Amino acid sequence: MCRSVSKSRPFLIAIGATAVLSIAGCGSAVTGTAEAGGQGSTSIISGDGQDLSALLIDPSQFPAPYEAIVLPPQAIAQASPDLTGIPAGAEVSPAGCKPTEPSSAPSGAALIVGTDNANRSTISIELTVVDEPLSVREEQLQQCGEVEATKSGATSVIRSTISPAPPINADETLAVKQTVNSGTGADSVTQSMLTLMAQVDDVRIAATFMSFDNSAPDAAVLDELFTAAVQKVNAG
């Protein structure tokens, strides 16, 4: 019998330091390993012929207390929607406010996640190959300050606020603060996120701090890892 990751907790939080990832297939589990991008992972090629897995920063670059792992391709499709607060396959209101879902192909994205188990928070770095400028996503977020997402009878409310874009060497940059409220009463859950984004050619870099309270994000570490991620993509 299949058992899913906790309904009230996004996949990125639920993986924890054990790095045992419950995958959608019955009876299957994948153990993540703290490997450098490009070692023992599926090649993920951008339109310019770049290997996205090789462009990920190394898990060793995550400072304590973050324990980082590179997610295997089959886990990314389950984890990636957590970074927007909108589950894959959810119905969204207003219409047109659903972000583009990453390709389900193994070549669609690369993702590394660092977990702070004591504070139940994560910092993730996701690389995706895109065919549209980052300004398209920014315009969507500006028009969709409050969104309702419904899946399997459960509704979440996602609120987004654009922040000053981080200065960095990239074609475009964007920063957004988001909260995701789901459930009611004792079963209510609040998920808070700060995401820094940059685009270099057709590679989009997104660094996201995620937690389950309204405490201040670990902005210094997030900025440090975001900067390292963009620099590595530029160098690649």
Q: What is the mean pLDDT of residues 18-43?
A: 36
Closest by alpha carbon to 131, among 202, 201, 198? 202
- If you average pLDDT over every residue of the chain, what do you get? 80
Condensed to tens digits (0 to 9), the pLDDT of residues 120-173 reads 999 999 999 999 999 999 999 999 999 999 998 889 999 999 999 889 999 999
Condensed to tens digits (0 to 9), the pLDDT of residues 216-234 reads 899 999 999 999 999 999 9
In this predicted structure, what is the pLDDT of residue 82?
85
In this predicted structure, what is the pLDDT of residue 2?
35
Q: What is the mean pLDDT of residues 38-65?
A: 70
Q: What are the residue ranges spanned by the domains of the chain?
A: 11-235
In this predicted structure, what is the pLDDT of residue 20?
32
User: Distance between CA 45 and CA 29 in Å, rounded?
Assistant: 26
Q: Which residue has the higher pLDDT, 83 or 107?
A: 83
Condensed to tens digits (0 to 9), the pLDDT of residues 170-220 reads 999 999 999 999 877 777 888 999 999 999 999 999 999 999 877 789 999
Q: Which residue has the higher pLDDT, 18 or 53?
A: 53
Condensed to tens digits (0 to 9), the pLDDT of residues 57-99 reads 999 999 999 999 999 988 888 888 888 888 888 999 998 898 8
> Over 70: is that where the pLDDT of 34 sits?
no
Write a three-state SS string for 127-194: EEECCCCHHHHHHHHHHCCEEEEEECCEEEEEEEEEECCCCCCCCEEEEEEEEEEECCHHHCEEEEEE
Q: Which residue has the higher pLDDT, 216 or 4?
A: 216
Q: Which of 26-35, 53-62, 100-109, 115-124 has the lowest mean pLDDT?
A: 26-35
Pick the CATH number of 11-235 from 3.30.457, 2.40.160, 3.40.1000, 3.20.20: 3.40.1000
Q: What is the mean pLDDT of residues 22-38?
A: 35
Three-state secondary structure call for residue 222: helix
Q: What is the mean pLDDT of residues 24-43?
A: 36
Q: 6: which 2 tokens?
A: 């906790």
Peptide bond into 65 cis (omega under 30): yes
In this predicted structure, what is the pLDDT of residue 233?
95
